[in-house]
Structure 1
């Protein structure tokens, strides 16, 4: 497994992206699992899903700079957390990459997605007409992915199931760049506005946000 991107956003927040080049057994040799994690691992089918799960756990140990067991359960909504550390965390994966965002500022969220034309078929499922109207023709597909990653990152940050990308989240108009910041309004019991960072990463798109 090789670290391909490590970035410190500030003294309290950093994220890393790893390229998965190992087998499941090689990744597993770097970990110590408790009974709950072992049961979860045993329930997974062999393939990318198990590689992603193992890689995020190895990456977590790398960023926390320890080879000891790290307790990383998930809450009732499936959001991972670290009961023995001050960091809030968010995990992501796509194809050959795994990612981790961690912060002592507050809750956080990260998403990585490979950019493919298939997003054109589902754009109306996660973007309102008023969001689609400001998409730029030259970077249409990439801008769609920036919006998807932003909504996924905020979804992970807020941590509650049932929040709708389409109904509860609205991205304000922005001009797409290879690396930029957009504003996203989340309307649940109250209105919250987030500044979400996005950037191209090879053939992938990254989105990340911290409270």
Structure 2
């Protein structure tokens, strides 16, 4: 596994992305798994899903600077957490890459997606007409930045029943290869504002957010 990107956003928050080049056996050799995790691994379809799951756990050990066992269960909504560390975490993966975001500042979310034209076919499923109005010339990268932002906030708030289309609204922004946007989340009759950062990474788009930032 090769570290391709490590960024410290501040003293409390950092994320890393790794390119997965190892086999399942090579990744397993770097981990200690309990019985629950072994069962989880067995339940995954072989191939990329297994590699993604293993790679995020190896990456956690890198960021926490330990080769010891790290408990990383998921709650009832599938949101991972670290019961033995003060960090909030978020995991992501796409094709040959895996990513981890961790913060002591607050809940966080990260999403990595490979950029493809297929997003043009589904844009109305996750973007309101008012949001599509500021997309510049069907800019595929800008649409992916919006998708990653909504996915990142979805993960931050706990993978709970929130609609990208109905409950999230992105305010107009000028797309650049790296920037920030404002996302409004309406949930439980309350509206929250999030500053979501995005950036182009090779052939991928990356979005990340930390509560209170």
TM score, norm. by length of structure 1: 0.99
Distance 1:12 1:130 in 2: 35
| Residues 32-111 of structure 1 mapped to structure 2, 5 A cutoff | 32-111=32-111
Deviation at 1:60, TM superposition (A): 0.3
CA-CA distance at 1:45 after TM superposition: 1.5
Structure 1 match to 2:10: 10
Between the aligned partners of 1:37 and 1:128, the Cα distance in structure 2 is 39
Q: In 1, Cα distance between the equivalents of 2:194 and 2:21?
A: 34
Deviations 1:54-113 (A, max 9, x none): 000000000000001000000000000000000000000000000000000000000000
Q: What residue in structure 2 maps to residue 162 of structure 1?
A: 161
Q: Which residue of 2 aligns with 1:175?
A: 174
Deviation at 1:160, TM superposition (A): 3.9
Q: Which moved more, 1:154-163 or 1:69-78?
A: 154-163
C-alpha offsets along residues 7-49 of structure 1, whole Å, 9 cap, x if unaligned? 0000000000000000011000000001110000011111100
Runs of at least 5 residues in structure 1 that lack an aligned partner in the other structure? none
CA deviations 1:113-133 (Å, max 9, x no partner) are 000000111000000000000
Q: 4+ residue stretches of structure 1 with deviation over 3 A?
A: none
Q: Distance in 1 between the 2:125 and 2:37 partners?
A: 34
Within 1, Cα distance between the matches of 2:177 and 2:195?
A: 16
Match of 2:197 in 1: 197
TM-score norm. by structure 2 comes to 0.98
Cα RMSD (Å):
0.7
Shift, 1:201, TM fit: 0.1
The separation in 2 between residues aligned to 1:4 and 1:35, in whole angstroms, is 31
- Partner residue in 1 for 2:144: 145
Number of residue pairs aligned between Structure 1 and Structure 2: 210
Deviation at 1:162, TM superposition (A): 1.2
